[in-house]
Amino acid sequence: MHRAICSNILFSITNSRSPSFIMNRYKLGRLVEDTLYVTPFESLFLFIKGRIRPENPFYSNSLTLMKELLPGSSDLILYTVYEQMKLKGLYVKKESDSLFFRKSPRNEYDGPMKVMRESRDISFQELASLSGSLVATVDDENDTTFFRVYGVEPEGSADLGLPGGISTDRISDRHVAQSEGMPDWIGNDFRGVRFLTELEECLVKEGKEGGVECSENPLFRIYSDLIGRRLIVKTGFKYGTNFRAYTKTMEEHADYLIHFLSGRDEWYKISRAVRVSQGVHKIMIFAGFLDEEIKYVAVERIRDPFYKGQKND
């Protein structure tokens, strides 16, 4: 009888297949003499495929076996993505809370693939720590959506000359200025009057009265940094974000949607922002602070991360 072993559980290999056949066919396990040694994920996958059968009848159903093999709080959700990879014929290894994969032994492993539920909340610091990673989000219906997370340095080439001597006033609750002499990228014209946002007002009066108050506003710090990168920055309200940003001119479409991730937010909101941005052909960027330094992290949704050359959704 051919056997596979996972920890203290013995399995019989079904259909008179040899351990070497199972190892080569399913790209998993290690062979010691004539016994196949498998990890918990590998053994569960082979059990579900009907290739091995527990010798102890106590483990003969999926529920009992899963409880034994997947004791960690994140093991089940990791396994669901692991199984998807294996069904695509990939070599997969688990390291801590990450998965790595490759198509053949000649390739280097790709990854890490981080796995999370749709309801998980995340801070900017945690999002930034995912830079360079793939993220598999498993929703409550057990469907998986894949994302790529990477650090980015948004840059523009717009001519943002700001003339001096601009005086502003208030009408009701709005900051206003004369339209004459104002650059097109600041404010919005209404009957010859230029309406300014709170951040634009801060930019105009920076270094003057009220400038200190503005500099302590984290959203203004990000706005000012983006202006310093020669980007035209306007409200992103229509897209559910703080800003939309143009790299050259407002006569073209905005290149970025940028949102300040201040506290913690649910991952489904991250997903929603990414879907909106890709629907309007823009890059979704999240901004935040690491050790008081402004950082930018882009997130994009991808259809199939397991093969190179795939197109984004």
Residues with a catalytic annotation lie at 246, 253, 282
What six digits make up the tokens of 63? 């529920």
Amino acid code (one letter) for 171: I
Q: In what helix (H) or strand (E) does residue 101 lie, and over which residues does it extend?
A: strand 98-102
CA distance 65 to 59: 5
Task: Determine the distance from the C-alpha atom of residue 187 to the mean position of all C-alpha atoms in its chain, rounded to a whole number.
Answer: 32
Q: In what helix (H) or strand (E) does residue 133 lie, and over which residues does it extend?
A: strand 133-138
CA distance 77 to 97: 10
CA distance 42 to 145: 23
Tracing tokens 């669901």 back to the chain, one arrives at 80
CA distance 202 to 297: 25
Using CB atoms within 10 A of its CB, is residue 84 exposed (0-12), middle (13-18) or buried (19+)? middle
SS3 call for 298: strand
* In contact, 101 and 92? CB cutoff 8 Å: yes
Amino acid code (one letter) for 202: C
Sequence-distant (6+) residues with CB within 8 A of 229 are 153, 154, 155, 156
